[in-house]
Amino acid sequence: MPTPSSVSDSTPVNGNRDTVASPERVHAFQVAHNLGSSFLYAWQGIYYALRTQRNFRIHALATGVVISAGIVLQLPSVNIAVLGLTCGAVMALELINTALEAVVDLTVKQSYHELAKIAKDCAAGAVFVAALTAILVGICLLAPPLFVALQPYL
C-alpha cells in the first residue's frame, strides 16, 4: 500500500474525494468537512468578488434593478425566472472568470505569457457574450410592459 507521501495529487486518501495527499498541497486548499463549510466557502468567494471585482458589483446591481423592475411591472413569474437565470449566468461566469484569472496569475507569477493572455481574454469574452445576451433578454422582456406603463407620461 502506498504511503500518503507517495500518493499522487489526484489520488483520494481513505476514500475521501475531497482529501488528497501530497506534501506540497497540504495547506494549498481548505477541505469542506460538512455542508455548512461548503456554503461558507462559497459565500467567501462571492464576498471576495463583491469586494474586489468592479464588474461583479455592476452585474449584482444590474440584477437587482432588473429583477425589481420585473416585479414592479408585474411580469409573469416565468419571465422573472428567465431574467433571474440570465442574470445568474452572467454573475456565475464572472465568478469563474475571477477564479481563472487568479489561477493564471498564480501560475505565471509576474511574467507575461501569451497563453495566459488568451485564457484571460477568452474568459472575459465569455462574460461579455453572456452580458450581451442578458441585455437582449432584458430588453425583450422588460421593454414592452415598460413602454405600456410609461405611455401616459409620453
Give catalytic residue positions. 94
Question: What is the distance between the alpha carbons of residues 42 and 36, in angstroms, rounded to a whole number?
Answer: 10
What 3 state SS string does 19-72 have?
EECCHHHCCCCCCCCCHHHHHHHHHHHHHHHHHHCHHHHHHHHHHHHHHHHHHH
Check if the beta carbon of residue 90 is closer than 8 Å to that of residue 127.
yes
Q: Please choose, from the candidates 96, 145, 144, the residue with its C-alpha nearest in 3D space to the C-alpha of residue 124.
A: 96
Check if the beta carbon of residue 101 is closer than 8 Å to that of residue 93.
no
- Nine cell digits for residue 136: 437582449
